[in-house]
Amino acid sequence: MKCDDCFNLLEEYIDGEAIERDAAQVSAHLITCAACAHEFEALTAEREVYARYDRELTVSPAMWSAIAARTTESRPINSGSRFSLGGWLAGLFATPRYAFAGAAAVVIFAVLIGVMFLRTRTPERPPPPETVARINNPAPTSPTPDVVANSHPPKMGEPVLSGPERHPLSEVSAAKLQKNPRRSDQSGVLFTDAAYTDIEDKDTANHVAQAENLLRSVRNLQTSDDNEEVDVSYEKAESRRLLDDNVVLRRDAEMAGKYPVKKLLGELEPFLIDIANLPDKTTPTDLRAIKDRVQKTEIVAALRSY
Amino acid sequence: MKRLAEISLKGQPGAFAGSLMNCSADLVARACEGDQEAFRLIFERYSRPLISFVYDQVGNRELAEELTQETFVRAYRSLRTLREETKLSTWLFGIAKNVARESLRARRRTNQHVDLDDKLVLNLSDRGPVPVKQLLNKELNEVIQNSLALLDEDKRLVFTLKVFQQCSYEEIAEITGFSIPKLKTDLHRARTEMRKRVGSYVRVES
């Protein structure tokens, strides 16, 4: 053992805290090294000086009398069968191990109750119809999903699809948006970390569900062999809206250290970008390229498993 | 986990009679049953180390007595929360630490200065000639007390628990809530600081 190592271990050795192996090595080193042995003696002498420290304190009988009087008055611990919440809490906070944890738990519990109360207290205000329409169709010229579904008559040779099959996203997302109007109506929520995280998770879940529907919708788009252009104006608008949210949610996930979520949203983003950048009427080749990538990367399955 | 208070002594032959029945766990169990004598025995056993510990933290005799009293009252009220695996002494020191810290912080908030005792010096002047050894001891006591007061709270806490109360690292960690590496560092620094002030009283045989 080197002197430096011995020196570093001496205090622990003197305190009887060195592990067995270290203690044996220090003992052996002290026999052979005069400098370390001298240091050891200095520490021992120091210890003796502290052992002589006399505070000249006496415990007066009056102290016990005062304690006995105070404990006899209250006797909270002896009321075995009667449970007192106040007494229990006082005892809990007086116990050093649980004092901080107890206080923290009470604060967190109170905040959660407050948040739940405020959330249930907030009146259910369905967003005005024009808001829903605006959310669904950010492009000013785009018609509402229902209008799109109804105003898109099947072309000659194209299989007749019902509204939901053609645009499953429109109704699903509208319903979801009405149920959970994203961050637009959370004025009554106290933004604690816990509440914020919860809202973020819900937002992400909604976003992922909507993105999954969008990609399914794109995957199900029919392309003809005669290079006839396909109308993707609705998918494009929806993709643009989702793209904005995706960027924000991906950054939030990164900041919160939710790396799997960040990764998933990161994988989704190129698809949203590609769809958002399609012309309103796209060529089957471009659409097929996106569909193939959706198929190959199994992004829909990944979104579904979120 | 079983609470000490739940240990029943009923039906045990010779309960309360032998010295074995005065181990900490039994005393706690009896005190929880309302046995005032058992709590008095706990007080007798731990009052001296506790008052010394509190005094080392606050540096004032009267305040130390008051805080030790508060420590025992709090301990009595929460005896039922003491768990089997927790050592009674560790638990009591933990309460004493909280009580002392609360007092120091309350005084700091109200800008009240806690005066160190000067009783030792007064005693010296009252008694006339004093033997050299006794004089040195008095002086040493005063130096140690003043040096302790100059340590910061955490270091003083760790130092007094280790050096004066001979607690193990695990016990200190449990009392203070500090991690072992932190308390080792604090202890080493406290020793170094104390050595600077007390070192001249340390005589090493060469």
Instruction: Note the pLDDT of residue B160.
Output: 95
CA A172 to chain centre: 26
Q: What is the pLDDT of residue B113?
A: 56
CB A269 within 8 A of CB A247: yes
DSSP one-letter code for B83: B
Best mutation target, A8, A50, A85, to test chain B (most B CBs within 10 A): A50
- Looking at chain A, list the stretches that DSSP marks H as alpha helix, in order from N- to C-terminal side: 3-15, 20-32, 34-51, 61-74, 85-94, 96-121, 129-136, 145-150, 163-166, 168-179, 193-220, 233-255, 259-276, 284-297, 299-304
pLDDT computed for residue A245 by the predictor: 85
* Binding-face residues of A in 3-22 toward B, CB within 8 A: 11-12, 15, 17
Alpha helices in A17-60 (DSSP H): 20-32, 34-51
Give every CB contact of residue B111 below 8 A, 6+ residues apart in sequence. none
Closest chain A residue by Cα to residue B39: A68
- What pLDDT sits at residue B93? 94
Query: A57 CB near a chain B CB, below 8 Å?
Result: yes
User: Does A130 contact chain B (CB < 8 Å)?
Assistant: no
In this prediction, the residues of chain B whose per-residue pLDDT falls under 50 are 1-2, 4-20, 118-127
Contact at 8 Å (CB) between A193 and A119?
no
- Please list the pLDDT of chain A residue by residue as tens digits (306 residues): 888 889 889 998 988 888 889 999 999 999 999 999 998 998 888 888 888 888 888 888 888 888 888 887 665 454 444 445 655 566 555 555 566 777 788 888 888 888 888 877 655 555 555 544 444 444 444 444 443 334 344 444 444 444 443 444 444 444 444 444 444 444 344 444 444 566 678 888 889 999 999 998 888 888 777 778 888 888 888 888 888 888 888 888 888 888 888 889 988 988 888 888 888 888 888 888 888 888 888 888 888 887
Q: Which residues of chain A does B39 touch, with a Cβ-Cβ cutoff of 8 Å?
A: 71
State how far the Cα of B26 lies from the Cα of B5, in Å rounded to an integer.
9
What the block records as the tokens of A27 is 């003992």
Minimal CA separation from A51 to chain B, in Å: 7
Whether chain B has a CB inside 8 Å of the CB on A59: the answer is: yes
Q: Residue holding tokens 């229990």?
A: A88
Q: What is the CA radius of gyration of chain A?
A: 36
The half-sphere exposure of A242 on its side-chain side, counting CA atoms within 13 A, is 33
Express each pLDDT in B3-17 by its tens digit.
Answer: 544 444 443 434 444
Tell me the CB-side half-sphere exposure of residue A95, using CA atoms within 13 A: 20
Rounded distance between C-alpha atoms, residue A283 and residue B44, angstroms: 93
b or e along A66-75 (b: 16 or more beta carbons within 10 Å of the residue's beta carbon)?
bbbeebeeee
Contact of B108 with chain A, judged by CB distance below 8 Å, is answered with no
Inter-chain CB proximity A77 and B47 less than 8 Å: no
The answer to whether B46 contacts chain A (CB < 8 Å) is no
In this prediction, residue A92 carries a pLDDT of: 59
The answer to whether the CB atoms of A97 and B97 lie below 8 A apart is no
Q: Which helix (H) or strand (E) holds A281?
A: strand A281-282
Query: What residues of chain A lie within 8 A of the CB of B63, using their CB?
Result: none
What pLDDT, on the 0 to 100 scale, is given for residue B204? 58
- ∠ CA B48-B54-B55, nearest 5°, is 85
Looking at the DSSP bridge assignments, the partners of residue A230 are A282
Q: What is the pLDDT of residue A260?
A: 87
Q: What is the pLDDT of residue A81?
A: 42
Contact across the interface for A78 and B32, Cβ inside 8 Å: yes
Q: Tell me the two tokens of residue A216.
A: 């399914």
ipTM above 0.85, yes or no: no
Kind and range of the H or E run holding B141: helix B132-150
Copy the structure tokens of residue B47: 């009052």
Q: Which of residues 57-96 of B touch A (CB under 8 A)?
A: 61, 64-65, 68-69, 72-82, 86, 91, 94-95
